[in-house]
Amino acid sequence: MMRKVSLLVLGMALGAGSVSFATHTQIFTGASAQAAASDTYRQLNLFGDVFDKIRNEYVEKPDEQKLVEAAINGMLTSLDPHSSYMDAKAYKEFSQQTSGEFGGLGIEVQQEDKLIKVVSPIEDTPAAKAGILSGDLIIAIDGQSVEDLTLNQAVDKMRGAPQTQITLKILRGPNKEVKEFKLTRDIIRVKSVKFEEKGDIGYIRITQFTEQTFDGLKDAMTKFAADIPDDKFKGYIVDLRNDPGGLLNQAIAVSNAFLDKGEIVSTRSRNPEDTQRWNAGAHDLSKGKPLIILVNGGSASASEIVAGALQDHQRAIILGTRSFGKGSVQTIIPLPQSGGAVRLTTARYYTPSGRSIQAKGIEPDVQVLEDVPDDLKGKDQIEGEASLKGHLLNSGPEEHGSQAYVPPDPKDDKQLIAAMEILHGKKPAEVAAEFAPKPDPAKAPAADAAKPADPAKPDAPKTDSPN
């Protein structure tokens, strides 16, 4: 059995989470309320009976607080991969992480077949600098096998004071090559927006959506406006590749920076009356300049909200590979009595056209695959939301797996090069053809290779239809 739950070392990743803190009260009336209450009390009595048996008869005296927290977390993780319980320490660290600063190694991880899988290292952190890669499987932490640990316990072991050392043993690639890394913990200050001028193009990289993201975006756009003459400015490239998401309000603000009207996103929960919609105001900071959004298999949640909104409004060309497919919203509900919080999936989000990308992802308008080095082949794919055990289902076929490799040298970055060519005037269809994967003659069936071409019957075009 495989169980996957995403966490961020020294701070849980919110994904497309709610920016508000919420408490929920349900009120039942009449006979239905009595029946519901009776059944609920019966189940709670069962829990109490089991708890008393463990407390009184277990071979060793158990930690009662841990028992309760384990029960709560078990209840939440049985719902979907993104609901969980945070104790006071984890909640504090989570709050630090969403503010853009936290302590640790700087890797997002999930549990898979009793091992800890690296979803992605955060740029400019100890993990990234040491060479930890997406897809690496952590098998031991400071000599202790992770098979003996829960995901939370493994994350706790990777936490620690800055400047202290930790050793990770990993398995890498299809051949399960064993590697060992010695890392030094540090305060992780995540600069969520990085930018540079690429001649007459403004390039903006958003690593995750924190409280600082929109301000960082504004700073970038202000700098471009000051440095690049308006009549020479070709447009923007916003790079959301391997961006795991973050705060919903920041995704809305980033989208609004390129829109001046229309819906950005809607969220729909179990109760229809709780549907919420966010519309763009007249705040298009880009002044209508051309825009290309880069996405790949590691672009999730808040990243997909931005890409979906700008794609539906035909405001941007989406370029790269299919995104992760996380189409749910998590609300953080503080629990004052414990100092912790519940991270609960409370809604699905929908793009302006009414699309749910849950377990499907955003299909790019222009698909461009990167050339993956031989030693990384087989590790360039992220399975996506559809592979997570217990994920929310969607109507129609789900999509599994998408390329998530980004070359470290921009000169080798085919997606970035393709985006720049489009902004310099090349048609998207021409770029798509130019960067389409070339067939391998060695893999072509002999019968097909020998069949003469029939000019009266041209090949049917191959398209990936957005869901």
Yes or no: say if 207 and 194 are a contact pair by the CB < 8 Å rule: yes
Q: Are residues 254 and 322 in the same domain?
A: yes
Cα–Cα distance for residue pair 143/151, rounded to 1 Å: 16
Nearest to 278 by CA among 243, 253, 302, 301: 253
Sign for the CA dihedral angle at 32, 33, 34, 38 comes to: positive
Would you call 297 exposed, middle or buried from its count of C-beta atoms within 10 A (0-12, 13-18, 19+)?
buried
| pLDDT number for residue 110 | 83
Is residue 170 in a domain? yes
Chain-centre distance of CA 367, in angstroms?
20
| pLDDT number for residue 151 | 86
Is residue 374 in a domain? yes
Tens of pLDDT, residue by residue over 275-305, are 999 999 988 999 999 999 999 999 999 999 9
The whole domain housing 120 covers 101-189
Q: Grade residue 28 by pLDDT with cuts at 50, 70 and 90.
A: very low
pLDDT for residue 376 is more than 50: yes
Q: Are residues 71 and 176 in the same domain?
A: no
Q: Which residues contact 385 (CB under 8 A, 6 or more apart)?
A: 300, 324, 325, 326, 327, 358, 359, 361, 391
| pLDDT number for residue 10 | 32
Q: What is the chain's alpha carbon radius of gyration, rounded to the nearest angstrom?
A: 24
DSSP result, 42-71: HHHHHHHHHHHHHHHHSSS---HHHHHHHH
Yes or no: say if 279 and 260 are a contact pair by the CB < 8 Å rule: no
| pLDDT number for residue 429 | 94
- Supply the CATH number for residue 357's domain: 3.90.226.10
Would you call 294 exposed, middle or buried from its count of C-beta atoms within 10 A (0-12, 13-18, 19+)?
buried
Average pLDDT of the chain? 85
The structure tokens listed for 384 are 């996506």
Q: Are residues 420 and 279 in the same domain?
A: yes
Which H helix or E strand runs over 217? Answer: helix 213-227
Tally of domains in the chain: 3
Q: Are residues 197 and 162 in the same domain?
A: no
Q: Which residues are catalytic?
A: 301, 312, 326
Q: Which residues contact 331 (CB under 8 A, 6 or more apart)?
A: 17, 18, 20, 21, 22, 343, 344, 346, 347
- Supply the CATH number for residue 159's domain: 2.30.42.10
Yes or no: say if 357 and 304 are a contact pair by the CB < 8 Å rule: yes
Is residue 113 in a domain? yes
Alpha carbons within 13 angstroms on the beta-carbon side of residue 410 total 9
Cα–Cα distance for residue pair 229/346, rounded to 1 Å: 46
Yes or no: say if 185 and 166 are a contact pair by the CB < 8 Å rule: yes
Residue holding tokens 């720049």? 420
Q: Grade residue 14 by pLDDT with cuts at 50, 70 and 90.
A: very low
Q: Are residues 183 and 199 in the same domain?
A: no
Is residue 404 in a domain? yes
Yes or no: say if 406 and 241 are a contact pair by the CB < 8 Å rule: yes
Q: Are residues 115 and 45 in the same domain?
A: no
Domain edge (last residue) among 157, 189, 221: 189
Yes or no: say if 140 and 168 are a contact pair by the CB < 8 Å rule: yes
The structure tokens listed for 457 are 């019957």
Tens of pLDDT, residue by residue over 100-121, are 777 789 888 888 888 999 987 8
DSSP result, 326-370: --EEEEEEEETTTTEEEEEEEEEEE-TTS---TTT-PPPSEE-PP
Is residue 214 in a domain? yes
